Protein backbone atom coordinates (compact mmCIF):
# COMPACT_ATOMS: atom_id res chain seq x y z
CA UNK A 1 0.00 0.00 0.00
CA UNK A 2 1.36 3.43 -0.89
CA UNK A 3 1.59 6.20 1.69
CA UNK A 4 -1.82 7.63 2.46
CA UNK A 5 -0.94 11.26 1.80
CA UNK A 6 1.94 13.64 1.14
CA UNK A 7 2.19 14.63 4.80
CA UNK A 8 2.69 11.01 5.83
CA UNK A 9 5.32 10.63 3.10
CA UNK A 10 7.20 13.67 4.38
CA UNK A 11 7.75 12.34 7.90
CA UNK A 12 8.06 8.62 7.24
CA UNK A 13 10.47 8.50 4.31
CA UNK A 14 13.12 10.71 5.98
CA UNK A 15 12.77 8.63 9.16
CA UNK A 16 13.38 5.44 7.19
CA UNK A 17 16.31 6.97 5.33
CA UNK A 18 17.90 7.98 8.64
CA UNK A 19 17.52 4.45 10.01
CA UNK A 20 18.91 2.76 6.90
CA UNK A 21 21.74 5.23 6.26
CA UNK A 22 23.11 5.29 9.80
CA UNK A 23 22.81 1.49 9.99
CA UNK A 24 25.02 0.98 6.95
CA UNK A 25 27.40 3.79 7.91
CA UNK A 26 27.97 2.16 11.30
CA UNK A 27 28.91 -1.13 9.62
CA UNK A 28 31.37 0.68 7.34
CA UNK A 29 32.87 2.75 10.15
CA UNK A 30 33.33 -0.25 12.43
CA UNK A 31 34.88 -2.34 9.63
CA UNK A 32 37.35 0.46 8.96
CA UNK A 33 38.17 0.67 12.67
CA UNK A 34 38.97 -3.07 12.64
CA UNK A 35 41.33 -2.67 9.70
CA UNK A 36 39.14 -3.32 6.66
CA UNK A 37 39.13 -0.44 4.12
CA UNK A 38 36.80 -2.21 1.64
CA UNK A 39 33.70 -0.12 2.41
CA UNK A 40 35.69 3.12 2.39
CA UNK A 41 37.29 2.28 -0.96
CA UNK A 42 33.81 1.69 -2.43
CA UNK A 43 32.45 4.99 -1.16
CA UNK A 44 30.28 3.51 1.60
CA UNK A 45 31.92 5.27 4.55
CA UNK A 46 29.47 8.15 4.20
CA UNK A 47 26.17 9.46 5.54
CA UNK A 48 24.94 10.24 2.02
CA UNK A 49 21.78 8.09 1.66
CA UNK A 50 22.25 7.81 -2.10
CA UNK A 51 25.42 5.77 -1.57
CA UNK A 52 23.51 3.16 0.44
CA UNK A 53 20.17 2.88 -1.36
CA UNK A 54 19.18 -0.31 -3.14
CA UNK A 55 16.78 0.16 -6.12
CA UNK A 56 14.39 -2.63 -5.08
CA UNK A 57 14.68 -1.70 -1.42
CA UNK A 58 13.81 1.90 -2.28
CA UNK A 59 10.78 0.77 -4.29
CA UNK A 60 9.63 -1.34 -1.35
CA UNK A 61 10.09 1.72 0.83
CA UNK A 62 7.40 3.48 -1.18
CA UNK A 63 5.10 0.49 -1.63
CA UNK A 64 5.35 -1.41 1.66
CA UNK A 65 6.53 1.47 3.92
CA UNK A 66 9.69 -0.51 4.72
CA UNK A 67 12.80 -1.00 2.66
CA UNK A 68 16.45 -1.90 2.81
CA UNK A 69 19.83 -0.66 1.69
CA UNK A 70 22.72 -2.25 -0.17
CA UNK A 71 24.78 -4.33 2.28
CA UNK A 72 28.11 -2.77 3.13
CA UNK A 73 30.95 -4.84 1.58
CA UNK A 74 33.43 -6.15 4.12
CA UNK A 75 36.43 -8.49 3.98
CA UNK A 76 36.91 -10.20 7.36
CA UNK A 77 40.39 -11.31 6.27
CA UNK A 78 41.46 -7.69 6.82
CA UNK A 79 40.27 -7.63 10.43
CA UNK A 80 42.91 -7.71 13.15
CA UNK A 81 40.86 -10.48 14.76
CA UNK A 82 38.43 -12.09 12.29
CA UNK A 83 35.88 -13.48 14.73
CA UNK A 84 35.79 -10.49 17.08
CA UNK A 85 35.88 -8.07 14.17
CA UNK A 86 32.96 -9.80 12.45
CA UNK A 87 30.93 -9.70 15.67
CA UNK A 88 31.43 -6.00 16.32
CA UNK A 89 30.99 -4.97 12.68
CA UNK A 90 27.71 -6.91 12.56
CA UNK A 91 26.59 -5.46 15.88
CA UNK A 92 27.41 -1.88 14.85
CA UNK A 93 24.38 -1.47 12.56
CA UNK A 94 21.68 -2.57 15.04
CA UNK A 95 23.58 -0.83 17.83
CA UNK A 96 23.51 2.46 15.94
CA UNK A 97 19.78 2.06 15.32
CA UNK A 98 19.12 1.52 19.03
CA UNK A 99 21.17 4.62 19.88
CA UNK A 100 19.26 6.77 17.39
CA UNK A 101 16.01 5.33 18.72
CA UNK A 102 17.03 6.42 22.22
CA UNK A 103 17.87 9.96 21.06
CA UNK A 104 14.52 10.19 19.24
CA UNK A 105 12.70 8.94 22.35
CA UNK A 106 14.45 11.60 24.44
CA UNK A 107 13.39 14.35 22.03
CA UNK A 108 9.84 12.99 22.02
CA UNK A 109 9.52 12.87 25.78
CA UNK A 110 11.28 16.12 26.61
CA UNK A 111 10.60 18.47 23.71
CA UNK A 112 7.78 17.29 21.42
CA UNK A 113 4.19 18.41 21.73
CA UNK A 114 1.82 15.52 20.90
CA UNK A 115 0.76 15.08 17.28
CA UNK A 116 2.76 18.00 15.93
CA UNK A 117 4.87 17.37 12.79
CA UNK A 118 8.01 17.21 14.95
CA UNK A 119 6.36 14.66 17.24
CA UNK A 120 5.24 12.49 14.32
CA UNK A 121 8.65 12.66 12.68
CA UNK A 122 10.54 11.75 15.86
CA UNK A 123 8.04 9.00 16.64
CA UNK A 124 8.74 7.43 13.25
CA UNK A 125 12.50 7.86 13.68
CA UNK A 126 12.28 6.01 16.99
CA UNK A 127 9.95 3.32 15.67
CA UNK A 128 11.82 2.49 12.48
CA UNK A 129 15.21 2.43 14.19
CA UNK A 130 13.98 0.11 16.92
CA UNK A 131 12.30 -2.26 14.48
CA UNK A 132 15.27 -2.25 12.13
CA UNK A 133 17.60 -3.11 15.00
CA UNK A 134 15.45 -5.99 16.24
CA UNK A 135 14.86 -7.36 12.75
CA UNK A 136 18.56 -7.35 11.95
CA UNK A 137 19.60 -9.30 15.03
CA UNK A 138 17.43 -12.24 13.98
CA UNK A 139 20.05 -15.02 13.55
CA UNK A 140 19.12 -15.87 9.97
CA UNK A 141 21.18 -15.17 6.86
CA UNK A 142 21.65 -12.56 5.44
CA UNK A 143 20.81 -10.54 8.57
CA UNK A 144 23.43 -9.19 10.97
CA UNK A 145 22.36 -11.63 13.66
CA UNK A 146 23.54 -14.57 11.55
CA UNK A 147 27.08 -13.15 11.40
CA UNK A 148 27.03 -12.36 15.11
CA UNK A 149 25.99 -15.93 15.86
CA UNK A 150 28.67 -17.35 13.54
CA UNK A 151 31.35 -15.32 15.31
CA UNK A 152 30.23 -16.63 18.73
CA UNK A 153 29.76 -20.33 17.91
CA UNK A 154 32.57 -22.76 18.78
CA UNK A 155 34.59 -23.50 15.67
CA UNK A 156 33.61 -27.18 15.73
CA UNK A 157 29.96 -26.19 15.19
CA UNK A 158 30.59 -23.81 12.29
CA UNK A 159 30.38 -26.42 9.48
CA UNK A 160 26.85 -27.34 10.62
CA UNK A 161 25.88 -23.69 10.83
CA UNK A 162 27.24 -22.87 7.39
CA UNK A 163 25.38 -25.87 5.96
CA UNK A 164 22.10 -24.33 7.21
CA UNK A 165 22.98 -20.74 6.29
CA UNK A 166 21.73 -20.88 2.65
CA UNK A 167 18.21 -21.64 3.92
CA UNK A 168 18.07 -18.42 5.96
CA UNK A 169 16.50 -16.23 3.24
CA UNK A 170 13.80 -18.82 2.55
CA UNK A 171 12.96 -19.06 6.25
CA UNK A 172 12.72 -15.26 6.39
CA UNK A 173 10.37 -15.22 3.41
CA UNK A 174 8.14 -17.84 5.06
CA UNK A 175 8.08 -15.85 8.31
CA UNK A 176 7.14 -12.71 6.39
CA UNK A 177 4.47 -14.39 4.25
CA UNK A 178 2.75 -15.98 7.24
CA UNK A 179 3.02 -12.87 9.39
CA UNK A 180 5.11 -14.60 12.04
CA UNK A 181 7.82 -11.96 12.43
CA UNK A 182 5.53 -9.52 14.32
CA UNK A 183 4.96 -12.25 16.93
CA UNK A 184 8.34 -11.41 18.44
CA UNK A 185 9.17 -8.09 16.76
CA UNK A 186 6.23 -6.20 18.28
CA UNK A 187 6.73 -7.33 21.92
CA UNK A 188 10.50 -6.77 21.65
CA UNK A 189 10.00 -3.28 20.20
CA UNK A 190 7.46 -2.41 22.89
CA UNK A 191 9.87 -3.58 25.59
CA UNK A 192 12.74 -1.48 24.18
CA UNK A 193 10.58 1.63 23.80
CA UNK A 194 9.32 1.14 27.35
CA UNK A 195 12.94 0.84 28.52
CA UNK A 196 13.78 4.08 26.71
CA UNK A 197 11.04 5.90 28.59
CA UNK A 198 12.10 4.41 31.92
CA UNK A 199 15.76 5.34 31.47
CA UNK A 200 15.04 8.86 30.20
CA UNK A 201 12.67 9.69 33.04
CA UNK A 202 15.02 8.10 35.58
CA UNK A 203 18.21 9.83 34.42
CA UNK A 204 16.72 13.14 33.20
CA UNK A 205 13.66 13.98 35.34
pLDDT-based confidence at residue 2 (cuts at 50, 70, 90)? very low
Query: What is the pTM assigned to this prediction?
Result: 0.91
Burial 31-65 (b: 16+ CB within 10 A, else e): bbebebebbeeeebbbeebebbbeeeebeebeeeb
Using the predicted structure, report yes or no on whether residue 126 has a pLDDT greater than 70: yes
Using the predicted structure, report yes or no on whether residue 18 has a pLDDT greater than 90: yes
Residue 159 lies in a domain: yes
Of 74, 66, 114, 112, the closest CA to residue 93 belongs to: 74
Q: Domain range for residue 148?
A: 6-203
Residue 1 lies in a domain: no
Q: Please state, in angstroms and rounded to a whole number, the distance separating the CA atoms of residues 76 and 86.
A: 6
Residue 30 lies in a domain: yes
Q: Known catalytic residues?
A: 24
What is the total count of domains within the chain? 1
Residue 85 lies in a domain: yes
Note the Cα 136 to chain centre separation in Å: 6
Task: Return the higher-pLDDT residue of 25 and 155.
Answer: 25
Amino acid sequence: MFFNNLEELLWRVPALLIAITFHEYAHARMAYAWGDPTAKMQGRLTLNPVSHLDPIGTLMLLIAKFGWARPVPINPLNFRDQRRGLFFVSLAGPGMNLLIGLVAAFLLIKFASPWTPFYLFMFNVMLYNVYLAIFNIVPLSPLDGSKMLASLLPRRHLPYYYALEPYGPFILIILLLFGLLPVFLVPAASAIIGLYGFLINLLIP
